[in-house]
Amino acid sequence: MREIGKTLGEAAGPRGRPAPVRLPPAEEAEERVSLETTSREDRSLEEGTRRVERKIVDSDDEAESIAARRIAAAEANARPLAAVDHKAFDERIRQEPADATATAGISMRRLRNAVVWREILGPPVSLRESDER
């Protein structure tokens, strides 16, 4: 094995090249390739940035009216609710369309996915209770 290794090591050069082909020294390779370009396109990237000035919002002048509106809204809702209030709320929510809460019909794809996820997340087959008794 050692003789075969020596024979193979002598026949092969660096990185699998044949032994007569040698790599150029690192200094020559560095001198051949330059990363610098001949054109001078240096420019500042900060100059091209234009930002829209922010609009200053100052609510200090309206603070008293905002506070008064909040207090009025709190006082309007600070009473106990009666049966009439519950009926009015129930009628209001029943008049809204129920599309957002309706469930989609069961399709074959959804049924197949449900079975697959039950197999994945459910107990192993050997630990399941048998329905055939």
At 34-50, the pLDDT tens digits run 666 666 666 666 666 67
Q: Which residues contact 19 (CB under 8 A, 6 or more apart)?
A: 10, 11, 12, 13
**pLDDT computed for residue 41 by the predictor:** 66
pLDDT value of position 96: 74
The string of pLDDT tens digits covering residues 60-106 is: 888 888 899 999 999 888 888 889 989 998 998 888 776 666 666 78
pTM of the model: 0.24
Yes or no: say if 115 and 106 are a contact pair by the CB < 8 Å rule.
Answer: no
**CA gap 130, 51 in Å, rounded:** 69
